[in-house]
Chains A and B, each alone.
Chain A
């Protein structure tokens, strides 16, 4: 089992393995995204309070979930790099940072769009929104440090340390809606309890969450493969692979 993980640390083996998964994963995620979006826009009944504006939930909630778990994945890769010095983990951190920043931005933007009709305001400084904004700044910090240290040998380790330091914010975001009773509503999904929504509403949400995850992984793998090609461009196997394209 560990041998399989260690083999994945080799750029060549990761490249070959991910090459087999890349296209099916992308297609599956696109199909699920379009299917889920169509389901959410056309077939979900409108909410008794919010009417049709509840449909933004199917874009906002998966983005927000992924924003937080994206950071956890980034700090996981950072920990792997710091502990086991697997260079591919550093490449993974480098590739996921802009992805995570973009999806946090999408979560904030769609949240603001949803907030205007339902709460009457684009923004409010409540616990969940503020801590998600802080999450966005944490992603930006990792990106900024990487670009400032680009030619430095220790850039990977510095960004890994920063990513791990920022992970302290994650429990604050996740539990902020439970610890403070401010404007943002509490979680509707939990691992241990029944959802507070009827099944016609949470089933497409589940589909969209899974679709977002698959899409995120697909794009992340694409970026890592790109980075592998760039850094290993002088090796034989890359030249061979490029010759067959």
Chain B
């Protein structure tokens, strides 16, 4: 537990000292969302219909952008290797990394939702469902992305490779999340989808760090 809290504190402190690393993906998110009305046409009815998809794609791209730096700076200055070599649990360390990544990229995305809703003319039911789905799924995105980040941390141009590796794992979650938003907009019950997304989240919390810890071990040549 100490390792967890200490790791999260350290990561938050480091990132608050370099806010650009945190803000860039969020600005990217808003920019991508703004590009769609320019590309598709500014008609509110049309935008409202595809708004959940646009927001989700933009959120995925923003998350993938910030994923690469999850382990990279620790790898480069050697502290990743030190943590792996110590008798502390790599599982907890990885979980702490993912938690701080979520606090710095997933949670701000959820908080930016009202802005996205404004830009894309979403109505109230849509906003609630979209925010809830983003809240439920963004930790899963960070967890699964951690696997990709750990697998490619030693590679020079790992950024795009993380996208290729992790995108197939994101597809089921994306499908469920957008189905949930569409169901909410149609007025039907979304509790089934919420259960599914929670189940996937809990499964990912238990299993993804195992793979991530193994990948971190590989990256530090253990």
Contact = CB atoms under 8 A, between A and B. Distances in A.
Contacts of A148: 152, 155, 157-158, 161
Interface in B152-177: 152, 154-155, 157-158, 161, 164-165, 167-169, 171-172, 175
B151 interface: yes
Contact of B161 (A144, A154, A166): A144
Contacts of A165: 147, 169, 211
A166 B216 CA distance: 18
B87 interface: no
B168 A166 contact: yes
A140 B169 CA distance: 13
Nearest to A147: B161
Interface string A116-143: 0000000000000011001101101100
A50 B221 CA distance: 56
A228 interface: no
Contacts of A158: 151, 215, 218-219
A38 to B, nearest CB: 37
Given A152-B154, A165-B211, A130 B165 contact: no
A149 interface: yes
B164 A141 contact: yes
Given A148-B152, A161-B214, A165-B169, 12 more contacts: A82-B214, A134-B168, A137-B167, A141-B165, A144-B161, A144-B164, A144-B165, A148-B161, A149-B154, A153-B221, A158-B215, A172-B172
A16 B214 CA distance: 34
Nearest to A164: B211
Interface in A90-119: none
B218 A130 contact: no
A86 interface: no
B152 A145 contact: yes
A165 B152 CA distance: 15
Contacts of A169: 168-169, 172
A145 B165 contact: yes
9 contacts: A82-B214, A131-B171, A134-B171, A138-B168, A140-B164, A145-B151, A161-B211, A166-B168, A169-B169
A162 interface: yes
A184 interface: no
Chain A interface residue number, banded: 20 to 34
Interface of A: 82, 130-131, 134-135, 137-138, 140-141, 144-145, 148-149, 152-154, 157-158, 161-162, 164-166, 168-169, 172
A157 B165 contact: no
Nearest to B219: A154
Contacts of B172: 131, 134, 169, 172
Contacts of B221: 153-154
Contacts of B147: 161-162, 165
A101 B64 CA distance: 24
A200 B155 CA distance: 54
Interface string B124-163: 0000000000000000000000010001101101100100
B175 A162 contact: no
Contact of B169 (A131, A145, A166): A166
Interface in B164-214: 164-165, 167-169, 171-172, 175, 211, 214
Interface centre among B157, B171, B221 (most CB of A within 10 A): B171
Contacts of B171: 130-131, 134
B175 A130 contact: yes
A141 B168 contact: yes
Nearest to A127: B175
A134 B155 CA distance: 24
Given A153-B221, A154-B221, A161 B165 contact: no
B6 to A, nearest CB: 27
List the 4 shortest-distance A-B pairs measured between CB atoms, nearest first: A154-B218, A137-B168, A141-B165, A134-B168
Contacts of B214: 82, 157, 161
A128 to B, nearest CB: 13
Given A144-B161, A148-B161, A154-B218, A161 B151 contact: yes
